[in-house]
Structure 1
């Protein structure tokens, strides 16, 4: 049963407003309309065509004599490319440990790293990013790996992250003449991808020997990968940061280490800059306490 339509203009306006709010945007007709039938394309009308001429059946091809394979020359052997990718293995890892352990100075260590071919990252990077700053400094900062700008200039932390790091150092009275900066990985991974555990392990002896030769009074681990590699831990950086740890060198020297947030992370998460500020204040206090 259909409800009677109101006659009062106000009631009509209210009813139309109700329909509009309910999504009714089209009036219905008395007879139902099949909208799907309107959307179905009509089949094309057949066109008059001339009667097809009969086509004679094709003749089967003549049988060709099979060639005598015994008289054909032998095929040349397939050429195998001698250029194969170098995959780091235990022998290369052992060589890295030997080269690092026998380097008696930072210059010698740099030369040995430049001549080392056991890590694939070397062949995709432009430069070896060894270090920057003062090798006699009391503070050494270690990141994970170079980025694009660092790979081009051959120096660590020279891009946006580096400019933020410079401001962080200035806030506690330090600069690049009073600190020494390096990375766990000295070659840029392609596309700034995360280094694989194998690549990290093969480069570990070099950064550990680098820290031992610099012998800083305080070590600052910039980011989780640096902290996990050099402090032998699996904890996340947000749990590690702000707490003093110890880095043990191969000679048995214990170096106080402060894990903190990487400048690149701080650029993506500015709200956590206050956490890094507290960590750098701890570094400043530690330097004052050590005299």
Structure 2
């Protein structure tokens, strides 16, 4: 076998043969020749198309999320007290997380406090105890706000804080909440905040910011006052982030001082 082929008496090398093939393809010769010629004008007789078989369209299912949202809004608006709201939200079956969680985590602290801290979702220890912010991050939270004279167990509303989460059921593996999980939780959260009626809200972490102001990027948002649920709100880095990144505690301290100054200005 040689590197040349013979075509109509001419010797072709491999490169020339390949170039000819490329030219034929460019000219549209992309169908191989058959053993016998084909008359392209000899069309087969037209066959009448078969009558279409009627197909019954399947019924369009109801929008499950819309139905769950409507139910959540109805239950939330019907709650006149925090106790009634907690019972309504705990009994709500429109969120799958309820099936895998151990305990319902509604809130903790003094509901008459001027400051409401909004976290993300229960973790393992919160799921175990049925209270928000009781694990390592919760202990950090207590120390942070204790540094400016606020405590969750404070009897005096001026020196207390109240804490809850966007979600009241723990996501498996502490994953981020899904958008529909946040959506069906929002009517209860809005009613929760209305009933507590805090002067200021602290948005702890990305999920709290996503739910309250539809933004993420806590490292950009932190320290800047915004409006959430009709009230002044301050985004802050989550205590769990501070445990992983101690260098960020300096910025968190600045945010706490900003919160303290805002409280003092409102008291005048």
- TM-score bucket (shorter structure): 0.7 to 0.9
Deviation at 1:239, TM superposition (A): 1.2
Deviation at 1:287, TM superposition (A): 0.5
Cα distance in structure 2, aligned partners of 1:182 and 1:287: 20
How many pairs were matched up?
199
- Partner of residue 9, structure 2: none
Match 2:162 to one of 151, 169, 180: 180
Residue 147, structure 1, aligned to residue 123, structure 2: yes
Match 1:120 to one of 93, 96, 114: 96
SS of aligned partner of 1:89? helix
- Partner of residue 211, structure 2: 229
TM-score by length of 2: 0.72
Cα distance in structure 2, aligned partners of 1:111 and 1:93: 17
Match 1:199 to one of 181, 206, 227: 181
TM-score by length of 1: 0.67
Cα distance in structure 2, aligned partners of 1:121 and 1:223: 20
Preserved contact between residue 88 and residue 198 of structure 1 (Cα < 8 Å): no
- Partner of residue 245, structure 2: 269
Larger Cα-atom Rg: 1
Cα distance in structure 2, aligned partners of 1:231 and 1:215: 18
Deviation at 1:224, TM superposition (A): 1.2
Unaligned 5+ residue runs, structure 1?
A: 1-86, 249-253
Cα distance in structure 1, aligned partners of 2:117 and 2:216: 19
Deviation at 1:88, TM superposition (A): 5.5
Deviations 1:146-200 (A, max 9, x none): 0000001000000000000010011101111211000000000111111111111
Preserved contact between residue 221 and residue 257 of structure 1 (Cα < 8 Å): yes
Residue 130, structure 1, aligned to residue 69, structure 2: no
- Partner of residue 211, structure 1: 193
Preserved contact between residue 207 and residue 216 of structure 2 (Cα < 8 Å): no
Match 2:224 to one of 233, 239, 243: 243
Deviation at 1:284, TM superposition (A): 0.4
Q: Output the aligned Cα RMSD.
A: 1.2
Cα distance in structure 2, aligned partners of 1:231 and 1:138: 20
- Partner of residue 91, structure 1: 67
Deviations 1:74-132 (A, max 9, x none): xxxxxxxxxxxxx9621011100111122111111001011100100001001110000
Preserved contact between residue 122 and residue 133 of structure 2 (Cα < 8 Å): yes
Preserved contact between residue 88 and residue 202 of structure 1 (Cα < 8 Å): no
* 1:27-66 alignment, distance < 5 Å: none
> Where do 4+ consecutive residues of structure 1 move more than 4 Å?
none
Cα distance in structure 2, aligned partners of 1:228 and 1:282: 22
Unaligned 5+ residue runs, structure 2?
A: 1-62, 155-159
Deviations 1:201-230 (A, max 9, x none): 111111111111100001000001101211
* 1:61-80 alignment, distance < 5 Å: none
Cα distance in structure 1, aligned partners of 2:204 and 2:111: 18
Deviations 1:249-278 (A, max 9, x none): xxxxx3110000000111111111111111
